[in-house]
Amino acid sequence: MSIHISAKKGEIAKVVLQPGDPLRAQYIAENFLENAKLVNKTRGMFYYTGMYKGKEITVGASGMGFPSIGIYSYELFTEYDVETIIRIGTCGGYTTDLNLFDVLIVENAASESTYAKFAWGIEDEIIAPQGPIFNTIQETATELSINVKTSNVHSSDIFYRKDPNIPAIATKYNCLAVEMEAFGLFANAKHLGKNAATILTVSDIIPTHENISADDREKALKPMIELALESAWKSI
């Protein structure tokens, strides 16, 4: 057990899929894994371990923002010997070059956050995925004929802001979309020498105020979930 995760040693797999929402973790476990077992429900953050095509995979929530994913990914890496975390989530498109339901593989995460600097002394304001899992996801997308886009994203500490304009850092690094966790995950993995990647589904187009309806959301996320599971399976 760690401070925030009550699973016992051996109950969490070496590869973890990490959505933000605990209910999304539950949905994936119940619909994509065999013999899924709930191994953590502390603070309502559900973690399930089950089998996917004969290999053990864990899916569990990160919560929202760097402080939350920073805690959970760090404890997974250090207390449970997890080798690879694939974040799966949604993002808002900064540009109409993106469409609802597009699947993005994050090439770099840029952020104004002080998380990496004060946690690990990492001064970079842009951090890449860590380890070979990024390439595995790209190769798997091609094999599965899943149409993906590879893009830089803006990882923001802020969901609501006074200034409606695209933040300067997103323009600087040509970030097509915004989310709130990838930079923190990549920073932890870089510091610890672990593997980490992020796959996102575009759920909102910010300039046009388009968004995926609640009814369509689970269906919309299916290609991303399948891509993450197949990539995780290959990495084991």
Question: Model confidence over 97-108: pLDDT tens digits?
Answer: 999 999 999 999
- Catalytic residue flag (residue 204): yes
H or E element at residue 70? helix 66-79
Q: What is the pLDDT of residues 189-234, one digit of tens each?
A: 999 999 999 999 999 999 999 999 877 877 789 999 999 999 999 9
What DSSP character marks residue 133? H
In angstroms, the Cα distances linking 96 to 4, 65, 144 are 39, 25, 26
Overall pTM > 0.85: yes
**SS3 call for 111:** coil
Please tell me which residue in 97, 102, 204, 215 is annotated as part of the active site: 204
Q: Which residue has the tokens 């997974």?
A: 76
